[in-house]
Amino acid sequence: MYRGGRRVPGPEDFSEALAQARATGDAYLWIGLYEPTAAEFDLVTSEFGLHPLSVEDALKAHQRPKLEAYDDSLFLVLKTIVYDEEAAGISSGELMVFLGDAFVVTVRHGEGNPLTEVRSRLEGHPEVLRHGPGAVMYAVSDAVVDQYVLVADQLQMDLEELEAAVFAPRGNSDVGSVAARIYAFKRQVLEFRRATAPLLEPMQRLSGGVTPFIDPAARPYLRDVSDHLTRANDHVDGLDRLLSDILGANLAQMGVQQNDDMRKISAWAAMIAIPTMIAGIYGMNFRHMPELDQVWGYPLALAAMAVACLGLHRFFKRRGWL
């Protein structure tokens, strides 16, 4: 329970605590849950009068970011993103926030963005906490969006390494592996976009002054979160565009390399065709053929093959085919 921006002791029973908070007029409750079961959530649902549809979404998770306004509460869905150093990739979770008259309930799914640090940091700023449950929604949203910015920076560094690998000299065996890395990276950026892009509209609504249960004094903080989210989303868009350019460059390189291979194959095939033609003619076993009865006939044929092959090799070498 929080009153006047300070954490205060309150009754253990949810009903008594909520009644006491509403009676004082300047207090509210913050209940935090981590992957609750249906039975565990029933008590919270009955005490705070949460809407059944929002409760169903909170229990099943796998929701896209959104903001739903009901008669007795607001329901905000956030997707958390965490960068995995070992796997050099991202993992996602979900965070739901119920906001109502003198209460806020947070439900977390996944390992990302634990709220213990958020609560401790917010309790160090009573001037923010005194703005009611909207201050908690601001702090939770701000922590999630700040994590977006950090993850985007990590992905930017990974993308720079990938870009260097694309344009570095490599053999044929490396082409497929680099393309696989690009597609895997693109899937990560797509997962990131699913978290940031749909959240823009809910944050604009929260900061725009048209949603209930939000103290007007808390809206400037929410506008700040909206601005940070816009920058994070722009960063993700930039990563996606650059990744598409890198993918196009890699495909172009693959095409150029295949053309080089085909030119080399064609050049060697042309050089092999000359001795094959000469040997084919001399292998027809006609009775009357020039030079068959001459001592220099066989060396002349070999010399003609060698000269023709060397001439073609020099020609192709000058053209850059070999």
Lowest mean pLDDT among 10-14, 143-147, 229-233, 249-253: 249-253
How many folded domains does the chain comprise?
2
Q: What is the pLDDT of residue 212?
A: 85
Please tell me whether residues 240 and 264 are part of one structural domain.
no
Is-contact 133 104, C-beta < 8 A?
A: yes
Please tell me whether residues 260 and 200 are part of one structural domain.
no
Residue 102 token pair: 């003198």
Please tell me whether residues 6 and 74 are part of one structural domain.
yes
Please tell me whether residues 207 and 307 are part of one structural domain.
no
Phi, psi of 280, rounded to the nearest 5 degrees: -65, -40
Assign residue 6 the CATH number of its domain: 3.30.460.20
Please tell me whether residues 223 and 306 are part of one structural domain.
no
Residue 320 has pLDDT above 80, yes or no: no
Q: What is the pLDDT of residue 279?
A: 73
For 224-274, write each residue's pLDDT tens digit.
Answer: 999 999 999 999 999 888 888 888 877 777 777 777 778 787 887 877 887
Lowest mean pLDDT among 252-261, 279-288, 295-304, 309-318: 279-288
Residue 74 token pair: 């607001």
Which of the four pLDDT bands, split at 50, 70 and 90, describes residue 173?
very low
Which of the four pLDDT bands, split at 50, 70 and 90, describes residue 289?
low
Is-contact 82 105, C-beta < 8 A?
A: no
The rounded distance, in Å, linking the Cα atoms of 155 and 287 is: 77
Residue 268 belongs to domain spanning: 256-319
Q: What is the DSSP string of 244-286?
A: HHHHHHHHHHHHHHHHHHHHHHHHHHHHHHHHHHHHHHHTT--
For 82-132, write each residue's pLDDT tens digit.
Answer: 888 777 788 888 999 999 999 999 999 987 666 888 888 889 999 999 888
Residue 47 has pLDDT above 80, yes or no: yes
Is-contact 282 305, C-beta < 8 A?
A: no
Lowest mean pLDDT among 33-47, 63-77, 169-183, 209-223: 169-183
Please tell me whether residues 180 and 262 are part of one structural domain.
no
Please tell me whether residues 265 and 146 are part of one structural domain.
no
pTM of the model: 0.76
Please tell me whether residues 113 and 133 are part of one structural domain.
yes
Among residues 254, 283, 298, the one where a domain terminates is 254
Please tell me whether residues 224 and 277 are part of one structural domain.
no
Please tell me whether residues 196 and 155 are part of one structural domain.
yes
Q: What is the DSSP string of 12-61?
A: SSHHHHHHHHHHHSSEEEEEEEES--HHHHHHHHHHHT--HHHHHHHHH-
Phi, psi of 110, rounded to the nearest 5 degrees: 95, 175
Q: What is the pLDDT of residue 14?
A: 82
Q: What is the pLDDT of residue 30?
A: 93
- Chain centre distance of CA 37: 29
Q: Report angle CA 208, 151, 197 to the nearest 5 degrees.
A: 40
Among residues 238, 254, 270, the one where a domain terminates is 254
Q: What is the mean pLDDT of the chain?
A: 84
Among residues 205, 232, 254, the one where a domain terminates is 254
Burial class (CB within 10 angstroms; exposed 0-12, middle 13-18, buried 19+) of 75 = buried
Residue 12 has pLDDT above 90, yes or no: no
Which of the four pLDDT bands, split at 50, 70 and 90, describes residue 197?
very high
Phi, psi of 79, rounded to the nearest 5 degrees: -105, 125
Please tell me whether residues 24 and 69 are part of one structural domain.
yes
Amino acid of residue 54:
S
Is-contact 8 27, C-beta < 8 A?
A: yes
Average pLDDT for residues 316-320, to the nearest whole number? 76
Contacts of 112 (CB under 8 A, 6+ apart): 80, 81, 82, 91, 92, 93, 147
Please tell me whether residues 231 and 149 are part of one structural domain.
yes
Q: Which of 33, 82, 38 is nearest to 60 (CA)?
A: 38
Which of the four pLDDT bands, split at 50, 70 and 90, describes residue 67?
very high
Range among 35-44, 72-81, 159-168, 182-191 rated most confident: 72-81
Residue 301 has pLDDT above 80, yes or no: no
Is-contact 115 105, C-beta < 8 A?
A: no
Helices 172-196 and 219-282 pack at an angle, to 10 degrees, of: 160
Q: What is the pLDDT of residue 281?
A: 66
